[in-house]
Amino acid sequence: MIIVTGGAGFIGSNLVHELNRRGCEDVVVVDDLTDGHKYSNISGASIADYLDFEDFRAAFLKDEFSFHQIDRIYHLGACSITTEWDGRFMMDINYAYTRDLIRFSIRHEIPIVYASSAAVYGNSANFSEQSGDENPLNVYGYSKNMVDNFVARQLSSSKSQVVGLRYFNVYGPREQHKGAMASVAFHLNRQLKESGKVRLFGSSHGMAAGEQRRDFIFVDDAVNTTLWFADHADCSGIFNCGTGRSESFNELAEAVLDWHESGEIEYIPFPSELLESYQSNTRADLTSLRAAGCDVDYRTVNDGVGTYLDWLNS
């Protein structure tokens, strides 16, 4: 049995579908379907069961879960709203829930891969997993960094695999439920269809209009990286999950325009309220991931956006 928390969410649902494609159907999806629209992400997937995350949390905290049947846990459930400033809520869902599940996994020697985030780096100039490079700009990034710090203290004593993946800017199918937190590629596609234009931020942080940069990773590549660790159970630690490239929002917008063969870019003033909490340039350092042996190939924005828009506009 494989448990996928956040299994009806963005990365989680794509992981479930890929597990099915690889012949695994004994998958238990854990999620919060208060927003029932998310059902569509797992519609058509073959799963063994569905559990509400609160029921799942209560069960493993009391050791009432049938852990002897669990082969692996992918913990992708979290509050991913980076603009959420309710720190008590964020630390409960993103830190305490994850910490307790990792403790459960270590206690019962169940391999676990959990979702960390590139948000731990904030405005750092370095994006390696070395302690000291983290400088989160919001409580979301702080909550993820706290989990990573907890895991770093547990690694030497854990007899089973514990992996934290610092996902960079993931985009691709099954993110429509995320609303404002959906990828820029999703929003630009919508904008172009509605108005014939795509909107990007103007100059900020010493960068020209649209030249703010991100490490954009296509969701299939992120999923393949996540599943790579299932075949390498001796590998534990905290790793970046990005492409190792820094590509501009202009490049991403041009990929959208090229796919549609129409449209233009409109630049809007950079919001003043984001000035102190905005990452202007991210690029995953893949040294540790490659040293571990991970050989997943990562698509460029041009290739990934084209594949995504084929799916999104089908």
Q: Which residues of 8-18 are buried (b: 16+ CB within 10 A; e: fewer)?
A: bbbbbbbbbbb
With H, G, I as helix, E, B as strand and everything else as coil, classify residue 295: coil
Indicate if 178 belongs to the active site: yes
Check 178, 197, 267, 278 and give the catalytic one. Answer: 178
Secondary structure E strands in 32-133? 49-52, 72-75, 112-117
Check 74, 97, 114, 140 and give the catalytic one. Answer: 140
Alpha-carbon distances, residue 61 vs 30, 67, 94, 135, 177 (angstroms): 15, 12, 16, 31, 29
Direct distance between the N- and C-terminal alpha carbons of the chain, in angstroms, rounded to an integer: 33
Q: What phi, psi does 16 have (nearest 5°)? A: -60, -45
Instruction: Measure the CA–CA gap between 8 and 10, rounded to whole angstroms.
Output: 7
Provide the annotated active-site residues: 140, 178
